[in-house]
Amino acid sequence: MSDGQIVVSGLTKHYRNVRAVDNLSFTVEPGRVTGFLGPNGAGKTTTLRMILNLVTPTAGAATIGGQRYADLAEPLRHVGAVLEASSAHKGRTGLNHLRVVAAGAGLPRQRADEVLAMVGLTPAAKRKFKGYSLGMRQRLGIATAMLGDPKVLILDEPANGLDPEGIRWMRDFLKSLAAQGRTVLVSSHLLSEMQLLADDLVIIAAGQLITQGPVDEVMGSMSGNTQVRVRTPQAEALTGVLAAQQATVTPGGDGALLVTGVDAPTVGRAALTAGVELHELTTERPDLERVFLDLTAGKAGIR
Ligand SMILES: Nc1ncnc2c1ncn2[C@@H]1O[C@H](COP(=O)(O)OP(=O)(O)OP(=O)(O)O)[C@@H](O)[C@H]1O
């Protein structure tokens, strides 16, 4: 396996009467966190399971570093996956769980201690899994995935059920893995979280690709929706000046005006020229939530 790039091409999965994944193609680059986004039932889990050879595609293929997962000689040394809230034998300690998995994969025993420390679970090493909180279980799942020191990490909704501190830890940890040159593919429907975590986005709906690219580009593709929020005691005068510049002005509901069609410097200049006093002038970019809803509009229904 070479560079850890994931290439999904024409991936398709049909169940009896559902096209869970429909001719889906995208790439995931090493050294970056890629957010795999889609509404419920979009086909994210099915796609990840096909990449990991847990579901057989109806058509198409996925490769990791140029090879199909099934062809990887020692998959755990190449790809770590956390597909659902980690499960382990309830009576086993976190450390023992890791030792058992390490032994099964032919990995050195001390690797269990290393990955436990990596995810901050050393203090809970000797505690039984059944006493672990959801956050601790997620950390143990990641520790298990890291046992083989894989170049590629694939995680399905890792932030699910985590408290804010846990989400923050997860974010920092995944970013640090990408900074080490690893490929990190994370599925989520938590759009605001992806905005903070991901470098690249792959957005799907109804099994099909909606868009992919760097977060800024995906956001930028919606920049037509950028609006300027302006507050002035001379609303009528400003509205008149801006209307003459082909701008659209609507009330913001809280006493502010929302201006589209011109940028903030244009609004400021127009106000200055007309002698209109401004109390606020802000550019409001659409957040990812908005972009996402716009992009997946009409396809977001639960299937
Ligand atoms: N084994 C299966 N048999 C039949 N239909 C399935 C099967 N697995 C998934 N599906 C259907 O395929 C579609 C995609 O499901 P999938 O779980 O991949 O979506 P998802 O994006 O991961 O959704 P969520 O965010 O809700 O987990 C859904 O309509 C689902 O009901």
User: Which residues neighbour 264 within 8 Å (Cβ) at sequence distance 6 or greater?
Assistant: 228, 281, 282, 283
Please indicate, yes or no, whether residues 114 and 236 belong to a single structural domain of this protein.
Answer: no
Helix axes 264-274, 235-243, angle to 10 degrees: 110
Nearest to 187 by CA among 155, 222, 142: 155
Is 223 in a helix, a strand, or coil?
Answer: helix
**Whether residue 103 is found in the same domain as residue 198:** yes
User: 290 in a domain, yes or no?
Assistant: no
Determine which residue's CA is closest to atom 7 belonging to ligand 1. Answer: 15
| Phi, psi for residue 180 in degrees, rounded to 5 | -80, 0
Domain assignment present for 296: no
Among residues 298, 287, 81, 291, the alpha carbon closest in space to that of 203 is found at 291
Q: Is residue 263 situated within a structural domain?
A: yes
User: Any idea what the CATH number is for the domain that residue 245 is in?
Assistant: 3.30.70.100
Residue 81 bridge partners (DSSP): 154
The answer to whether position 300 is within a domain reads: no
Which is the closest atom of ligand 1 to the Cα of 48?
18
ipTM (interface predicted TM): 0.95
Q: Same structural domain for residues 135 and 200?
A: yes
Question: Residues 68, 171: one domain?
Answer: yes
- Ligand 1 centroid – CA 167 distance (Å): 25
191 in the same domain as 85: yes
Domain count, the chain: 2
Which of 183, 202, 220 finishes a domain? Answer: 220
Listed residues 220, 242, 271: the one ending a domain: 220
Digitized pLDDT (tens) for each residue of the chain, 303 residues in all: 458 999 999 999 999 988 999 999 999 999 999 999 988 888 999 999 999 999 999 999 999 999 999 999 888 889 999 987 556 777 889 999 999 999 998 999 999 999 999 999 999 888 988 888 888 888 999 999 999 999 999 999 988 878 888 899 999 999 999 999 999 999 998 777 888 899 999 999 889 998 899 998 887 775 566 789 999 999 999 999 999 988 999 998 788 999 988 999 999 999 999 999 999 999 887 666 666 777 777 664 444
Output phi, psi for 70, to 5 deg. Answer: -65, -20
Ligand 1 atom closest to residue 45's alpha carbon, by position in its atom list: 22
**Are residues 52 and 100 both part of a single domain?**
yes
Task: Answer positive or negative: Cα dihedral of 198, 199, 204, 208.
Answer: negative
Query: Is residue 232 located within the same domain as residue 162?
Result: no
Which residue CA neighbors atom 25 of ligand 1 most closely?
A: 40
Q: Say if 301 falls within a structural domain.
A: no
Does the beta carbon of 4 sit less than 6 angstroms from any atom of ligand 1? no
Structure tokens at 3: 């560079």
Asked if residue 96 belongs to a domain, the reply is yes
Residue ending a domain, among 220, 240, 269, is 220
| Residue 166 lies in domain | 6-220
Residue reference for tokens 């609303």: 235
Atom 30, ligand 1: residue with shortest CA distance: 41
| Residue 12: alpha-carbon gap to chain centroid | 21
Same structural domain for residues 91 and 19?
A: yes
CA distance 142 to 46: 20
- Do residue 17 and residue 106 come from a single domain? yes
- 147 and 265 fall within a common domain: no
Domain assignment present for 32: yes
The predicted structure's pLDDT at residue 135: 86
Is the CB of 41 inside a 6 Å radius of any atom of ligand 1? yes
Q: What is the CATH number of the domain that holds 177?
A: 3.40.50.300
Are residue 10 and residue 78 in the same domain, yes or no? yes
Residues 213, 237 within the same domain: no
209 Cβ neighbours under 8 A, 6+ residues apart: 24, 25, 26, 202, 203
Question: Sign of the C-alpha dihedral, residues 256, 230, 267, 278?
Answer: positive
Q: Is there a domain that residue 297 lies in?
A: no
300 in ligand 1 pocket by Cβ < 6 Å?
Answer: no
pLDDT at 71: 94
